[in-house]
Every structure is written in C-alpha cells, then in structure tokens.
Structure 1
Amino acid sequence: MTCREAERLVMPYINGSITDDELRDFLEHIEHCGECREELEIYFTVDVGIRQLDEETGSYNISGDLETELELSRQRIHTLRLLQTARYAVNTLCFWALLVVIILQVRIWGQMGFMGL
C-alpha cells in the first residue's frame, strides 16, 4: 500500500467504514510508515477530541484510545485469518470425505453388479 492509499483510508478507519482487506493493508502500512502513522494520530486526536467535547465525555487519553483501537483492529484481522484457515481446512476435509464416500459407493455398486464393473 502506498502512502496516498493509506492517507485515503485514515478517515474510513476512524469512522469504522473500512473493509477487512483494506484494514489489513492499512495496519501493515501504518506499522512501517511513521508519516502515515503520525497523520492517523492527528486525525484521530482531532476527531475523537471533537466528539468528546460535543458529548462532554472523554477519557482524555486519546493516544491510548488510538492504541486500543489499533490493537482491536489487529485482533480482528488475526481472528479473520484464523477463520479463513479453519474454513479452508473444513472445505478440504469435506472434499476428501466426499471423494472417499463416492469411491466406496462405486466399489459397493461394483460388487453388487449394478455398474457392470
């Protein structure tokens, strides 16, 4: 991901409207690019600060809130990766189970003379 693409995703990230694929690439870019990370911190600070002033609430630890949000995002990506791996494993097992059932059924039919084998 380029810096331009990451900059385009800062506000969707803050608003929670970023896709999972974009989130994965965005987090990876933010980990390695200090300039984009700084821009995220600035936008997050301004956005959260304004919301807290409007709602008259807040923890006043906005940088800590950003770290918490980033950690939750990393956990989401990790969970999605685990689910994708589990889905792949289940699909593979189902394929092989179905193949074994078909082979066994063909053998049974062959022994019974239905298939002419």
Structure 2
Amino acid sequence: MIHSPVSLTQAMAASSHNGTPTADYTIVTPTDFLEAEELVLEKLLGEDVRYYQEMIRNYVDDDLFFAEKQSFVDKALQLKRDIEKLERDVKRLEASNARHIQQDKDFKVAMKKYCGWEKN
C-alpha cells in the first residue's frame, strides 16, 4: 500500500540523478508487515501470487513454531539446572553421610574397646 499518487517504479524512474525522489514524488515506507506484504504482492503481480502468499503464511507458522519450540527449550534448560542443583545436593549429602558413617564406626570400635569386647 503506497501512500503516494504514483507507484514505486514510477517514483524511482522520476527520481533525480543521485537516487533520491524529486519533490513531486514522495514514497512512504511501509510501517508494518501487512503494508510490506501488500507492496511485495503489488510488485509481483505478474508472478504467481499464491506462492508468495504461501511463503508469508509459512513464515508466520514458522514464527509460531519457533516460539513454541523456544518455550520448550526454556523448560528443558530449567529442568537441567534443577537436576544439576539436585546432583550437587546429593554429593554434599553423600559426603556428610560418609562422615557420619565413619563417626558411627569409630564410636562402635571405641565402645568395644571400652567394654573390653575387642579381641587382642
């Protein structure tokens, strides 16, 4: 959708030698995706328009698929961080548990020695 009295091709043909449009012709750049789509379809009117419409629909579908996939990846990364945190906690608890097991063994040996149950 060009907001000028002439098409883009006419405006470029009437432009001055340095490539900028003259004062008689103004080109308004598209402000959103739909206007850009209309410009592209207007330019490609002689070509297979359905191909380009399908390409644009595929782009939108791909964008939605990417957003869905990105949320899945974010959840997977959060789960990975949670698993790593749990693994660190398990290692810390195993070290603490090993220390308590050793203290228990030392206590049993000391009790056997104190009570005279240890064989010499």
TM-score by length of 2: 0.43
Richer in helix (by share): 1
Structure of greater Rg: 2
Of structures 1 and 2, the one scoring higher in RCO (CA 8 A, sep 6+) is: 1
